[in-house]
Structure 1
Amino acid sequence: MASQTPNNLSETSTRCSSQENLESLKSHNNDIETGVRTSPSSSSDSSLTIFSSLSRHFSAELSTRGSDIILLLCWFTTGFLDSTIFQAYRTFVSMQTGNTVFIGLGASANTVNTPTLTQVRPYGWLKSLVSLIAFVTGSFIFARIGNVLGGPNRRLTFTFSFATQTLCIFLSAVLVQTGIVESRLEYIGEDIDWMHLIPIILLSFQAPAQTACGRAMGLWEVPTVVVTTMIYDFASDKKVFAGLRENASRNRRFAGYCCLVVGAILGGFVTVHTRHIAVSLWVSMGIKACVTLAWMVWPAKKAGRGEGGGC
């Protein structure tokens, strides 16, 4: 019996070693299976976290502090585009007061015998009418789009609004740059070219979107497309001669008017010297694209804190 003891011990040791190896292999396989099962879950959790962060980011209400700077850029773009489009197509895409007058002149053109602008361009009133209809349509949609996107002053609303404006100007620029729509001043005839209505519709449709954003910020004194009422409000302001820091509304009106005039001057200068409206459209698109990016990173409104517009 004593001679068999070492053999028994060896066999026992071998069996124990085999069992340990088997258990180690099973544990390793379990770890692999567990890793395979948990890996998609971890990836899914990470995706949900990113989506949740983006959702919170774009659903945040934006701070109005400094936002009047954005509206001043909109004023500049309004003057820049209107002076450009008027030189090419004899209509406005933002200032609908002028278009309303042109529509009236078109209706009265046949009642006089002396040559007038409406007789030289017999369908000019139609361009103004189309612009007015597109502007009204844009006003109706952009005034309500905030309710669909969670609120008028949400980051998503502002970003979507200016992205849409950028897209409309981009499409107009592509159409004239490629020659699909004639935009060279020397080749635009007196008779109407129906293709001209496409950029007019796109540009007029996007114009009121910036006004909707201004209203959402609470900056009613800078509508960015109406200048006559703003001039009256500026002149009739009881504090028109107050100190520079004592009347922010007056400051915004004055700055907005200056930006409009400067934009109109530069828009006319660029169009006359290039004999083409494509350059002005690309510049306007670039401005709106920059504003879109600005809204994406604009500071969120802090709860319980009153904010001013800035000027």
Structure 2
Amino acid sequence: MSGATILPQANNSSDQVRTTATHHRLSTYLEESLCLASRLLELELFLLALAIGIQDAISFPDFHCFASNQTGNTVLFAVGVLLDDPSGGEPPMFAISTLAVSLSFFIIGVFVTGQIANRLAISQTRGWLFFSGLGQTVLVIIAGALQLRYSELVGPNTKLGRIIIGLLAFSSGSQVAVVRGLKITDITTAMATAAYIDIFIDPRLFAGFTENRGRNRRVVFLLMLVLGSFVGAGIGKAANLGVGVLVSGGIKTVVSVMFLFNSKEDNEEEK
């Protein structure tokens, strides 16, 4: 009888040990810093650039502003403030409140995401890239669902429009902050101007294909951003613009899962 009572206790203890070991392995795995020279990581960032291109292409027709291109939004904001004359009887060129929402939520997304990563020193870890990517994806999918379901209520100067662009801008700012934390400056996933400049002032611009990885990264990044813009515009022409947002969210979902399969920092096989 005493043996019968001891056996379950032993089994429970063994199960607890296995559970603790599993949790430890999972925690260690998620805390690993990723190999920044990985080709897989490059592919993931290119796909994120594709997603951003889609978002900006579908946000401008509906909201007359961008989700991630805050240079453009800053210029449009100034133009709207100084050149739109409500007393003239003509409709405003741009919705100042919507532009302000996009600018503000993008900055908040960058600030919150960047500072969390800084404080916890997790900017290059597998778990951070995975969970922050999922968080961004949730915001994008919510925005796409709202835009798809209530398309008749979406406009450049509507409450729902400001909610949607706020979600997209926060997600875009968060994505940019996460990518900047990787310190791969050739692939920002969002801002094209610096990439254009860096390509054409590169003293090794005409080096062989395998001899200038930075140039190759910038070129592919720009191509993916442009491709995303065409994809987003094409979806908007053929269907509801909300579909484009959901496609972008789908891409971000795939990338977030892909982060779980990257090699860690001390693994040289993908360099």
- TM-score, structure 2 normalization: 0.91
Indicate the SS of the match to 2:20.
Answer: helix
User: Please, what is the CA RMSD of the aligned residues?
Assistant: 2.2
Residue 133 of structure 1, CA deviation = 0.5
Amino acid at match of 2:221: G
2:249 to 261, 276, 285: 285
Separation in 2, partners of 1:273, 1:169: 20
Which secondary structure does the structure 1 equivalent of 2:265 belong to? coil
Structure 1 residue 146, shift from structure 2 partner: 2.0
Aligned to 1:299: 263
Secondary structure of the residue that 2:67 maps to in structure 1? coil
SS in 1 for 2:210: coil
Letter in 1 for 2:262: W
1:61, CA displacement in angstroms?
A: 1.0
1:168 aligned partner: 139
User: 1:202 is matched with which residue?
Assistant: 167
Structure 2 residue aligned with 1:93: 67
Amino acid at match of 1:230: A
Which of residues 176, 180, 183 in structure 2 aligns to 1:215? 180
* Residue pairs, 1:175-194, within 5 angstroms: 175-179=146-150, 183-184=151-152, 192-194=157-159
Residue 80 of structure 2, aligned match among 96, 106, 112: 106
Q: Does 1:56 align with 2:21?
A: no
Q: Of 182, 195, 202, which residue of structure 2 is paired with 1:237? A: 202
1:145 paired residue among 116, 119, 133: 116
Q: 1:145 and 1:295 mapped to 2: Cα distance?
A: 19
Which whole-Å deviations, capped at 9, do the CAs of 1:77-110 have from their partners, x for residues lacking one? 1111101011111110000011001111111124
Q: Which residue of 1 aligns with 2:45?
A: 71
User: CA contact under 8 A between 1:93 and 1:204: conserved in structure 2?
Assistant: yes
Q: Deviation at 1:114?
A: 8.1
Larger Rg: 1
Q: Using the alignment, how far apart are the partners of 1:263 and 1:234 within structure 2?
A: 20
The corresponding residue for 2:213 is: 248
Q: Size of the alignment, in residue pairs?
A: 269
Name the structure 2 match of 1:16: none
Distance verdict in 2 for CA 1:253–1:43, change over 3 Å: same
- Residues 76, 262 of structure 1: 8 Å contact kept: yes
Q: Tell me: CA distance 1:295–1:110, structure 2 relative to 1, closer, same or farther (3 Å).
A: closer
**Percent of aligned pairs sharing the same letter:** 26
Structure 2 unaligned residues grouped into runs of 5+: none
Distance, in Å, in 2 between the alignment partners of 1:148 and 1:164 is: 18
Would you say the 8 A contact 1:81–1:284 is kept in 2? yes
Q: Which amino acid aligns with 1:94?
A: S
Aligned: 1:47 with 2:19: yes
Question: Contact (CA 8 Å) 2:84, 2:93: kept in 1 or not?
Answer: no
Alpha-carbon contact 1:82-1:93 (below 8 Å) kept: yes
Length-normalised TM-score, structure 1: 0.80
Where 1:301 maps in the other structure, the secondary structure is coil
User: One-letter code of the match for 1:98?
Assistant: G
1:4-19 → structure 2 map (5 Å cutoff): none
Matched, 1:224 2:189: yes
Measured after TM superposition, the shift of residue 147 of structure 1 is 3.5
- Look up the match of 1:14: none
Deviation at 1:214, TM superposition (A): 2.6
Deviation of 1:112 after TM superposition, in Å, equals 10
Instruction: Provide the rounded CA distance (Å) in 1 between the counterparts of 2:121 and 2:78.
Output: 40
Distance 1:174 1:128, change over 3 A: same
